[in-house]
Structure 1
Amino acid sequence: MPPHPLSTPSPTCARAPDAATPLPADAAPAHTLRLLLGDQLNPDHAWFGRVDAGVVYVLLELRQETDYVRHHAQKILAIFAAMRRLAQHLAAQGHRVRYVGIDAPLGTGSAAGPAAQPQPQPGSGTGVQAWCLSDCLTWLCQQHQARAFEYQEPDEWRLDQQLATWCAGSGLATRRVGSGHFYTPRHAAAQFFGARKQWRQEHFYRRLRQEHGVLLDALGQPEGGQWNFDADNRQPWRGQPPVPPDARPVHDHSALWHLISASGVQSMGEPSAAALRWPIDRAEALQQLDHFIEHRLAHFGAFQDALSSQHGTLFHSLLSFALNVKMLRPHEVVQRAEQAWRAGQVPLAAAEGFIRQILGWREYVRGVYWAQMPGYTNCNALAHQRPLPHWFWNGQTRMACMAAALQNSLRNAYAHHIQRLMVIGNFALLAGLDPQALHRWYLGIYIDAFEWVEAPNTLGMSQFADGGLLASKPYVSSAAYLQRMGDHCRTCPYDPALKTGARACPYNALYWDFFERHAQRLGQNARISLVYRNLQRMAPEARAALREQAAHTLERIEAL
């Protein structure tokens, strides 16, 4: 078993709230409580356009949310820091805010954000952090004598169901409002694709481009004469052009991390509490957007699929965390990229490739998620069951590309999409690792991972666990792709040219063995027909040697 097992506990509580608990000074009556979740940190939401003394905004640091999978330390820290910053901002605007910290004893919480009063000492009493969201809401509504409860539409199915259930039994007037974040409603993709067995992102993307007038000419046709410039965006990076320095601010959240740790929250990865580089408010997120547009976007397209042992992020935007907690709106990000192209600052292929990730892929995977839940996170079409190797939690593997991707993830709570898909995910699929275990690992380790975006990317795009609903083929490769797109093979003890033997790259034999094992399911897939033709051309003894090599590789997977 791995040293840090992942689990998915149900949202139960240590005990029910006590309605007789004395009211703190900040729990004056309010007619309405409005909940803000940890990924709903948009200070420009329509809610905040008017100050109403009868409305209290509630932000909760909950063990339910820190513990449903084991999260990266920086993910917990950045979300809590950003929640606290938003609470301070709202209070400064005149709104009433009830903030309940991770170690707040019963009856505490700041009306003006966490900085307005001393934090309780760790272990200073039974804290509401032991309760689930539902019971915290019951307790707060009783304290404030609220008659109404409102919340923004959650993006995760589990929270959507939990809040709907609580509202139905609350006895209050309840209302769900939109988050005002996405281009499309939850079920827009399902309505677009209808009864089709396979959903293809490209079709949905083109429709959204047309609906929102993105990168279209005066006749409503795609700029440049084509919708997709992906073929221009597959270059390896060989040291030029230079990668711009990381311009993100450095935060010292040592005190907050001490509080989180002392509260018993378990995490993985490096906390970097004294040097956290992730934005914690909208102003910082906008500065990061400016930096990307000015210094990275021009080269993002060409090198978006590249791997480098010197630079873990290359020209990627690092905006996904700010987007997914809603400090940035996708509309403004897309608009900035298009404006940069129209101003002649970046190539069309770079702007289109980046816009496709935001307007196309991000909206598409959200649609897949809401159409397929609740069963989607349990899908395992290929019946893979192998446990994750222990080095997923420490990065200690001799495979150079894998070690770099894992160590980058553990160190920074981040890896770019090719590291996630074609290094870590590629190996996991070839080796037959349990897709649910991998899903929980991805969900926990990456700072931008929330289930609506992570589950389709992991289970559909990466692991083909949905049987091909999302991806038209399994995204796997041998060492040849990794060698072509990166430079890790130069220093790796495994030889990318060898398929068998002690020094053979593990990706090679596993690649052919994967297609052998799943020939019945995949053999008729037109997109990989060449693979099966090449397999059939091999001499029987060569195929037997590859099967033997793959079996030996899996037997010693912990030592790779």
Structure 2
Amino acid sequence: MTIWVLGDQLALEYGPLAGADPTSDRVLMIEATDFARRYPYHSQKLTLVFAAMRHFRDRLRREGFEVEYRQTATFGDALEAHFDAHPGDRLACMEPPSHGAGDRLETLVESHGGTLERREHEGFLCSPAGFDAWAGPDADSFRHESFYRWMRRETGYLMDGNEPVGGEWNFDEDNRAFPRPEYAFSDPCRFEPDELTRATLEWVEATFETWGDSEPFEWPVTRTQALDARDHFIIERLPRFGPYQDAMVERSWAGEHALLSPALNLGLLHPRELLEPAVEAYKAGDAPLESVEGFLRQILGWREFVRHVYRRSMPELATANALEADRELPSLYWDGETKMHCLKTAVGRVQKRGYGHHIERLMLLSNFALLYGVEPQALNRWFHLAYVDAYHWVTTPNVIGMGVFASDALSTKPYASSANYVDRMSDYCADCAYDPDQTVGEQACPFNALYWDFLERNQERLGDNHRMGLVYYHLENKDEAEREAIRERVGTIREGIRQESL
């Protein structure tokens, strides 16, 4: 038996390797590079994946495993070499979470005369069977809040019998504060690249056409580093995480966020290893309930939820375009060249580190694309290439479903917002060339005119949505002269995007 360890399943503590015998079970790892040549991936994303794989290979060898580490262009090339050396070999791996990947791998293995045993992915807390039993066989849309409450009851996290600890299921209202200017954010956990990681970084830069800065590269690439990052968050940042988790501030790219999603999505950490210490911190009085519950909701609730909505909604979700948006992705997403201070900052942070927290992703980068009318697949591709924690199963539901409302699989209304939200939840507007309080005119923030244009453009599709009744009431109260001024301003904005002068 050969255990095939995929590049985002770097786990010895769970999955096939947890029960493997180093004296008899061989390990196969394939570092295929063709995918990295198709698009300009962020340099740090490629470095993270390849460095983590190489470190995991070395860890397995220290544990006594025989590891065949094949560096090839494609999986097919590596499998051909593997089966030349081991004819008719039996392989076992965890089911990949991305749609169709398991079928493609099985076909490849069988085409080379082997067999592939696909085992359930153990890196999540809710199994496919469990989710399907909760959702029912005929459901075509799902609601996160009811799933989250069900998961709380199933796991017992922050539960007092059958009721939530503290009497509330979530503390959203307590987690939307904006920090005062004197508030000092704690420093995130950083890791200096070791010799292997440094060599990988240099190899990535020399081998591929990448986007984004290669340094500072400070992400955890080993199990030990991932655990250190986890402990640092639980002790130093979790107590202050909740209230400011939605805030966007000039002085801190990380806020009090955990920054653990890259390690989690690689398999270096299991979600249980994040949730249980967080709950223990609450029980010990070391972290407030609103912070721990907010952290729980992101991992136990949202991460598990999007994985299964993706699984149930594919392949249609990937090509969904309910609002028929068809505009090209503006060049500012690649170069950050814009006078809009919020977008310039958000893109600049992604360019520098391959990261931005969830509100920057949703309410700045996705919101602008939604209002402007960017083709959903173009935005999804950008997120997939640009973020160090992005995988198809993650970005597709978050971007296509929630970000630009190309499908209603995740939410019942689009997360569309004017500059009012940006001004309330960030300090970007104070130093911006545009005025968040103006809708028309050269100094008016583009978010405002685009917001009203989005509503007007999609009134036939969204006008009868009961959750949008108030905003459409306000739209109806605008006279034709005001609407025409908005249309004129939108035309100027679109031209500015085309001319790369917005």
Q: TM range, normalised to the smaller chain?
A: over 0.9
* Paired residue secondary structure (2:116): strand
**In 2, Cα distance between equivalents of 1:50 and 1:474:** 46
Task: Map 1:449-528; keep pairs closer than 5 Å.
Answer: 449-466=390-407, 468-528=408-468
Q: Which residue of 2 aligns with 1:86?
A: 56
Query: Which residue of 365, 370, 376 maps to 1:435?
Result: 376
Give the root-mean-square deviation of aligned CA atoms. Answer: 1.6
Assess if the C-alpha contact under 8 Å between 1:33 and 1:141 holds in 2. Answer: no
Q: Which residue of 2 aligns with 1:155?
A: 97
Assess if the C-alpha contact under 8 Å between 1:249 and 1:279 holds in 2. Answer: yes
Q: Which residue of 1 aligns with 2:314?
A: 373
Question: Does 1:71 pair with 2:41?
Answer: yes
Q: TM-score, normalised by structure 2?
A: 0.95
**In 1, Cα distance between equivalents of 2:420 and 2:125:** 38
**In 2, Cα distance between equivalents of 1:404 and 1:181:** 33
Assess if the C-alpha contact under 8 Å between 1:43 and 1:282 holds in 2. Answer: no
Question: Does 1:44 pair with 2:13?
Answer: yes
Assess if the C-alpha contact under 8 Å between 2:401 and 2:409 holds in 1. Answer: yes
Q: Which residue of 1 aligns with 2:220?
A: 279
Q: 1:451 to 1:175 in 2, by over 3 A?
A: same
- Per-residue CA shift, 1:218-246, capped at 9, x if unaligned? x3211111111111111112334311112
Assess if the C-alpha contact under 8 Å between 1:483 and 1:489 holds in 2. Answer: yes
Question: How far did residue 327 of structure 1 move?
Answer: 0.6
Q: Which residue of 2 aligns with 1:357?
A: 298
Task: Map 1:289-438; keep pairs closer than 5 Å.
Answer: 289-438=230-379
Assess if the C-alpha contact under 8 Å between 1:380 and 1:435 holds in 2. Answer: yes
Assess if the C-alpha contact under 8 Å between 1:365 and 1:453 holds in 2. Answer: yes
- Per-residue CA shift, 1:68-101, capped at 9, x if unaligned? 5431100100111111111111001110001123
- Per-residue CA shift, 1:43-88, capped at 9, x if unaligned? 2235244434443212222123324543110010011111111111
AA aligned to 1:258 is E
Q: Which residue of 2 aligns with 1:262?
A: 206
Question: How far did residue 39 of structure 1 move?
Answer: 0.5
AA aligned to 1:337 is A
Query: Which residue of 21, 28, 31 maps to 1:61?
Result: 31
Question: Does 1:245 pair with 2:214?
Answer: no
**In 2, Cα distance between equivalents of 1:35 and 1:266:** 28
* Consecutive unaligned residues in structure 2, runs of 5 or more: none
* Paired residue secondary structure (1:296): helix
AA aligned to 2:6 is L
- Per-residue CA shift, 1:297-350, capped at 9, x if unaligned? 122111111010111111110000011011111012111111111111111111
Report runs of 4+ in structure 1 exceeding 6 Å deviation.
none
**In 1, Cα distance between equivalents of 2:106 and 2:347:** 37
Aligned positions, number? 496
Q: Which residue of 2 aligns with 1:202?
A: 145
Question: Does 1:97 pair with 2:62?
Answer: no
Question: How far did residue 153 of structure 1 move?
Answer: 1.1
AA aligned to 1:37 is L
Question: How far did residue 370 of structure 1 move?
Answer: 0.6
AA aligned to 1:155 is P
Assess if the C-alpha contact under 8 Å between 2:176 and 2:243 holds in 1. Answer: yes
Q: Which residue of 2 aligns with 1:142?
A: 84
> Which one is further off, 160-169 or 375-384?
160-169
> Which one is further off, 386-395 or 483-492?
386-395
Q: TM-score, normalised by structure 1?
A: 0.86
Question: Does 1:531 pair with 2:471?
Answer: yes
Q: 1:190 to 1:460 in 2, by over 3 A?
A: farther
Assess if the C-alpha contact under 8 Å between 2:32 and 2:75 holds in 1. Answer: yes
**In 1, Cα distance between equivalents of 2:288 and 2:52:** 34
**In 2, Cα distance between equivalents of 1:205 and 1:65:** 35
Question: How far did residue 540 of structure 1 move?
Answer: 1.9
Question: Does 1:176 pair with 2:118?
Answer: yes
> Which one is further off, 504-513 or 339-348?
339-348
* Paired residue secondary structure (1:404): helix
Q: Which residue of 2 aligns with 1:7?
A: none
AA aligned to 1:429 is L
Question: How far did residue 146 of structure 1 move?
Answer: 5.0
> Which one is further off, 532-541 or 433-442?
532-541
AA aligned to 1:472 is T
**In 1, Cα distance between equivalents of 2:405 and 2:130:** 23
Q: 1:141 to 1:248 in 2, by over 3 A?
A: same
Q: 1:298 to 1:241 in 2, by over 3 A?
A: farther
Over the matched positions of the two proteins, sequence identity in percent amounts to: 39
Question: How far did residue 543 of structure 1 move?
Answer: 1.5
AA aligned to 2:52 is A
AA aligned to 2:414 is P
- Per-residue CA shift, 1:345-385, capped at 9, x if unaligned? 11111111110000000010000111111221111111111
Assess if the C-alpha contact under 8 Å between 1:500 and 1:549 holds in 2. Answer: yes
**In 1, Cα distance between equivalents of 2:121 and 2:395:** 19
**In 2, Cα distance between equivalents of 1:545 and 1:188:** 53
**In 2, Cα distance between equivalents of 1:146 and 1:172:** 5
* Paired residue secondary structure (2:396): helix
Q: Which residue of 1 aligns with 2:127?
A: 185
Question: How far did residue 266 of structure 1 move?
Answer: 2.0
**In 2, Cα distance between equivalents of 1:174 and 1:245:** 45
Q: 1:97 to 1:150 in 2, by over 3 A?
A: same
- Per-residue CA shift, 1:429-469, capped at 9, x if unaligned? 00001110100000110000011111100000101011x22
- 1 or 2, which has the higher helix percentage? 2
**In 2, Cα distance between equivalents of 1:135 and 1:465:** 37
* Consecutive unaligned residues in structure 1, runs of 5 or more: 1-31, 102-127
Question: How far did residue 258 of structure 1 move?
Answer: 2.9
AA aligned to 1:341 is Y
Assess if the C-alpha contact under 8 Å between 2:229 and 2:260 holds in 1. Answer: yes
Assess if the C-alpha contact under 8 Å between 1:382 and 1:465 holds in 2. Answer: yes
**In 2, Cα distance between equivalents of 1:53 and 1:141:** 20
AA aligned to 2:50 is F
Assess if the C-alpha contact under 8 Å between 2:88 and 2:115 holds in 1. Answer: no
